[in-house]
Structure 1
Amino acid sequence: MIKKIKEFLKEVKIEIKKVVFPSKDELIGSIWVVIITVVIISLFLGFVDLGLSKLVAMALR
């Protein structure tokens, strides 16, 4: 069991060396894309929710 754990950790170490981390500029660019996307989707869902709640309110009158 211990041998398997050691082998696993050895393989993890090898795989981590293969990872290419983004540069600071790439990371900042990606963060802005995520923030803008979240804001747009949030606004869209907010308007859809508002519209549907108005429709339900009208239907229940």
Structure 2
Amino acid sequence: MIEKIKEFFKEVKIEAKKVVYPNRDELIGSTWVVIITVLLVAVFLGIIDRGLSKVVSGLLR
């Protein structure tokens, strides 16, 4: 059991060396994509929520 754990962590170390991290420009670009996407989805969901609220309010009157 201990040998399996040692082997696992050895493999984790090998795989971790293969990781390629983004450079600063790629990271900033990706961050902007995420921020803009989140804002667009938030606005879209806000519009849907407001519309559905008006529909439900109209039905309950």
Aligned to 1:39: 39
Aligned to 2:54: 54
Normalised TM-score (structure 1): 0.97
1:42 deviation in Å?
A: 0.2
1:39 deviation in Å?
A: 0.2
1:24 deviation in Å?
A: 0.8
1:26 deviation in Å?
A: 0.3
1:14 deviation in Å?
A: 0.4
Aligned to 1:26: 26
What amino acid maps onto 1:10 in structure 2?
Answer: K
Q: CA RMSD in A?
A: 0.4
1:13-35 Cα shifts (integer Å, max 9, x gaps) = 00011111100110010000000
Aligned to 1:15: 15
Runs (5+) with no aligned partner, structure 2:
none
What amino acid maps onto 1:56 in structure 2?
Answer: V
Normalised TM-score (structure 2): 0.97
1:7 deviation in Å?
A: 0.2
Deviating above 2 A after TM superposition, structure 1's stretches of 4 or more consecutive aligned residues are: none
Give the aligned length: 61
